[in-house]
Chain A
Amino acid sequence: MTSLDLYTWAGVAVFLLALHAVVTRAHLIWKVLAINLMGTGVFLVLLAAPARRDPLMADPLPQGMVLTGIVVAVAATALALGMALRVVARTGSPFLTVETETADPDPDAPEAPS
């Protein structure tokens, strides 16, 4: 077990924890946070897992890919946050709800669980 293995496992753990949270947390901002964290988990695996020529220095190609990935993830997070805030502006609730919220809800309809 080397340090690289540790970081690979960290990347896997972060990715799976965040994946679980994306599905589980109902709050939109948490979902966006979790997607961002999934991205960082992937970056950790991308840099820690590959075979490297120099044990102390990561290869330049994965570094370039992760750098590009970080910048794109920032932009995607900004867009996702904008959409989440837009949802809050329109519906007044930051939670992803299944039923549409109308002005006069049907009194006979069963209460949806989420």
Chain B
Amino acid sequence: MTPSTSSSGDNGADPSGASSTPGSSGTAATGVDAADVRPLLEDDGSRDDPALLKWLLGLLLLPMGLALALGLRGAADSRDPRIPDLVAEFLPETGVSNPVTGVLLNFRGYDTLLEVAVLVAAMVAVWSLDRGERLFGLPRGRDLDEPVLTAILRLAVPTAFLTAVYLTWLGSSEPAGAFQAGALLAGAGVLLTVAGVLRPPTAAALPVRVIAAGGVAGFVVVGISVLPFTGAFLAYPEGWAYPLILGLEAALAVAVAVILVELFVDVPSIPVHDPALDAVDPYGDPLGRALAPDPVPPEDEGEAS
């Protein structure tokens, strides 16, 4: 179980010198260190703990694995489950016939509300990681020099949209639902973003905030508005379950899609201030161009050390 270097045979052919200077990356923190260029992408294990520790850890984990494997063996047949019977018994009252959707949006609707809240929190945390003026630096779709990507876009994106709408509606009776639809929309959004057609907005743009908050807000509004009728938060009244669930699924799908695309777009850039590197990579790194450079790190690290 030791993930040690498995391709140790190509050290001779590797021109990067990654295995020769493992400790050299510390001297110039944000400048491009000549000996440090390749190791960003490759980990030859020279920075790992010694092999003894790796084997020791493997030895520790092995009995844990055996205990789990033997303990869980046959667990599926060991007892009579009661919960699926309960779910099946109360499913007609949920307004949907797909039990998973019933669980997610009715029996455990509160968990779904908190899940969207967690998504929003993660998105805000990613926003906080970098300055937020984010462009991929790619041209608009019509200027794009990538015929394959554009052709794929023309086929995939409308299909994805249609399928997402269908999946959201289908979730009440067949395996499908808001999250699958949202994920599909997010995939289409990622494609559009990479192609430059969907110009990624600067982080924390208002439409993004509104839609992302709308997912959580929809749940809370529905939950509170049913309080006078049923006396419990998020307890749908008689006959209202199906339309409410459908509406919530739609809001959920859109919100999840927007949040996931925003998470993809806002992965922080790594500022490159070396003009030689900018000349080499046509996409460049937009963050370093029109804006003030990062604050000089040695001051920060002087405080931190």
Nearest opposing residue in chain A for B104, CB measure: A64
Q: Which of A11-52 contact B (CB under 8 A)?
A: 12-13, 16-17, 19-21, 23-27, 30, 45, 48-52
Expressed in whole angstroms, the Cα–Cα distance for A86 and B122 within the complex equals: 15
* Interface residues on chain A, size class: 35 or more
> Contact: B73 with A8, CB < 8 Å?
yes
Instruction: Give, as a whole number of angstroms, the nearest-CB distance from A79 to chain B.
Output: 5
In chain A, what residue has the closest Cβ to B41?
Answer: A94
Q: What mask results when residues 66 to 82 of chain A are scored 1 for a CB within 8 Å of chain B, else 0?
A: 01101110111011011
Interface of B is mostly: helix
Question: Quick check: which of B23-31, B157-165, B216-224, B242-250 contacts chain A, the rest being far away?
Answer: B23-31
B133 located at the interface, meaning its Cβ lies under 8 Å from any Cβ of chain A in the complex: no
A93 touches B75 (CB 8 A): no
B184 interface hit (Cβ, 8 Å) = no
Stretch touching chain A among B7-15, B143-151, B225-233, B263-271: B263-271
A47 → chain B, closest Cβ, in Å? 10
Q: Which residues of A contact B25 (CB under 8 A)?
A: 91-93, 95, 101
**Alpha-carbon distance between A114 and B43 when the two chains are bound, in angstroms:** 13
Q: Which one of B81, B119, B130 contacts A50 once the chains associate, using CB atoms below 8 Å?
A: B81
> If the complex has contacts A21-B3, A92-B28, are A75 and B76 also in contact, measured as CB distance less than 8 A?
no
Could you say which residues of chain B place their CB within 8 Å of the CB of A9? 69, 72-73
CA of A78 to CA of B122 in the docked complex: distance in angstroms? Answer: 8
**Contact, CB under 8 Å: B129 / A54:** no
CB of B64 within 8 Å of the partner chain: yes
Asked whether B3 lies within 8 Å of A51 as measured between CB atoms, the reply is no
Interface string of B45-84 (1 = CB under 8 A from A): 0011110011001100100110011001111111111011
**Contact: B268 with A71, CB < 8 Å?**
no
A90 touches B29 (CB 8 A): yes
Instruction: State the CA gap A2–B3 with chains docked (Å).
Output: 29
Q: Does A105 count as interface, using CB distance less than 8 angstroms? A: yes
A56 contacts B by Cβ under 8 Å:
no
Stretch in contact with the other chain, from B95-103, B193-201, B276-284: B95-103
Interface string of B250-277 (1 = CB under 8 A from A): 0000001001100110111111000000
Please determine whether A111 and B23 come into contact, CB atoms closer than 8 angstroms. yes
Name, among B39, B75, B85, the residue most crowded by chain A CB atoms within 10 Å (CB to CB).
B75
Does A110 lie at the interface of the complex (its beta carbon under 8 Å from any beta carbon of B)?
Answer: no
Verify if B118 is at the interface (C-beta below 8 Å from A). yes
B29–A91 contact, CB under 8 A? yes
Across the interface, do B33 and A16 meet the contact criterion of CB distance under 8 Å? Answer: no
Complex partner residue of B85 from A12, A53, A113, CB under 8 angstroms: A53
Contacts A23-B57, A45-B72, A50-B75; A75 near B118 (Cβ below 8 A): yes
Asked if B108 is at the interface of the complex by the 8 Å CB criterion, the answer is: yes
28 A-B contacts (beta carbon < 8 Å) = A2-B77, A8-B72, A8-B75, A16-B65, A17-B1, A20-B54, A24-B57, A26-B47, A27-B47, A30-B43, A48-B76, A50-B76, A53-B84, A53-B85, A60-B87, A60-B103, A63-B100, A64-B100, A72-B115, A78-B263, A79-B263, A82-B130, A82-B266, A88-B270, A93-B36, A102-B26, A102-B305, A114-B48
6 A-B pairs with least C-beta separation? A101-B26, A60-B99, A75-B122, A26-B47, A27-B43, A64-B103
